[in-house]
Structure 1
């Protein structure tokens, strides 16, 4: 079989549409599980959970579980509940993150914590975590349970690592990468890998899907961190400059700080510590990240990880599923342009 060489810069206007079309029937079944399992006799739970679950998200992580199953030719049904579990884990972390960050917008809508308060958001997040573990246990595979429970713990570790790194301009690039691998890439990797487990495929195929998801997750988060400095609320679904005002030393800041002169570095230190957070300060930060090519290089790193994700699919046969998964990588990176 001749290898197909995919390059990120050869396909115009990448889209998730091929992946959406590929898994549409399966996603309908996953959505039915999500709707059923978010119900409770306590009305606030489905109301608050539904606000976020039905809030316009792309369902990227469960889509990856379903697409990976398609790639492997799996014809069973176990992946439907597990994809729902993945989405519940993700939604629970979003509810908790918005409380920690004090966010006002999520996907262009007011956050649950802003509407119902922090205690309700935290507790409904706990409910969704519990639902995800019920679904894992019902699947009956200890291996699947280990993969998803480990990912859940790693996500929490990543969030705590990020919390302790907040307001620290001296955060090294290596620690930043550790944070995004944990808080974002771990669930992408697990979402893909569990498809190989339920399809009873080889460890090599498990590892390939893990690598695909992990590298895609890193690329996805790098782009997210870049567009905080180059996009707007309508595009991002959150306020521009949120990371800046929250004192997060993301890669654009780390690079701009390292490349700046003494005056620039004094500004960044004050800004990340929370002393320079006005609109004018954010505008100055934008000038600095552009002048130091920090955004360009952040996106270059995203493309690097994106290519690694694509390369990880090399062991699988060419076809619609593989093409859709390649284009999903392109789409994740093209969001910045």
Structure 2
């Protein structure tokens, strides 16, 4: 299933209300900030994270103001991290648009990210959503730790499968976990359900990141991959799985290529061919599906009221998406 719009049809009304709510919460009378925010709001992504919030809530109760607050807090945090990432990576584009730092320079990008983070905190405090604030604060901490852990590991070139899963659990899955936990918390007071949804979200988030990592080693079935991870010397699961099937000499040769700061097309093609020849993509895909299956198995153990099939379809979309 590759069309997210089909999956999210039952909650399209909720997403429309969420967009208006988000716009209201980020309204400002500062001209430059308002101009940048209006530009930012044009860059609507797939909205997977707010969708996860609403789907998690709908399985255990009604979608109400608390759900919109949760989705808005998470989207503010997520958007802030993307803007800060673009500044750090010196990225020129985001979702097909020129990046904030490209148009308004790095200082504006950093300040906008700070503004969004502070708005998320204030929304929680103004609405006395202290439990959600704690969930999101923990997510921010874990995301920061994951980024720093990845930075250190990239410099040492000592990535292992165990360390890889630790990094992506912190860096990516922690926020998706927070989506599911906050969504459930907004709809039910049962702490066991919220705790279970947190774990389900973590497994979905790990599967989500593995899927992203697979794209970098893909062929031309969905357009030419950018090979960003390879250029940036990031060792991800497809390469780790390929190393498991390679000889010491082969592994040493590819590691030398990965360490190069500037790689030629020939270098990149050799790395990609190595991963394909050693079944790195196939074995990483098996791991991805195992995490998705684990999430769905855990979900079936909960007293879901409705929306189970929609949630299952979203998980299927996440591991089968084309971009």
| Common fold: TM-score over 0.5 | yes
Partner of 1:61: 49
Q: What is the deviation of 1:220? A: 0.3
Q: What is the deviation of 1:100? A: 2.2
Mapping 1:3-152, distance limit 5 Å: 13-152=1-140
Paired residues of 1:69 and 1:79 also in contact (CA < 8 A): yes
Q: Aligned pairs, how many? A: 323
Paired residues of 1:52 and 1:91 also in contact (CA < 8 A): no
| DSSP 3-state at the match of 1:85 | helix
TM-score (norm 2): 0.91
Partner of 1:297: 283
Q: What is the deviation of 1:232? A: 6.2
Closer, same or farther: CA 274–124 of 1 in aligned 2, 3 Å: farther
TM-score (norm 1): 0.88
Paired residues of 2:54 and 2:183 also in contact (CA < 8 A): yes
Paired residues of 2:231 and 2:261 also in contact (CA < 8 A): no
CA RMSD between the two structures: 2.4
Partner of 1:241: 227
Q: What is the deviation of 1:17? A: 3.2
CA deviations 1:222-278 (Å, max 9, x no partner) are: 000111110569769xx6101111111111222223433345323332333234512
| DSSP 3-state at the match of 1:166 | helix
Partner of 2:167: 179
CA distance in 1, matches of 2:33, 2:131: 30
Closer, same or farther: CA 107–167 of 1 in aligned 2, 3 Å: farther
CA deviations 1:60-93 (Å, max 9, x no partner) are: 1111111111111224321112211100100111
Gaps of 5+ in 1: 1-12
Paired residues of 2:67 and 2:187 also in contact (CA < 8 A): no
Closer, same or farther: CA 109–191 of 1 in aligned 2, 3 Å: same
Gaps of 5+ in 2: none
Partner of 1:213: 201
CA distance in 2, matches of 1:266, 1:46: 52
CA distance in 1, matches of 2:41, 2:203: 25
Q: What is the deviation of 1:14? A: 4.9
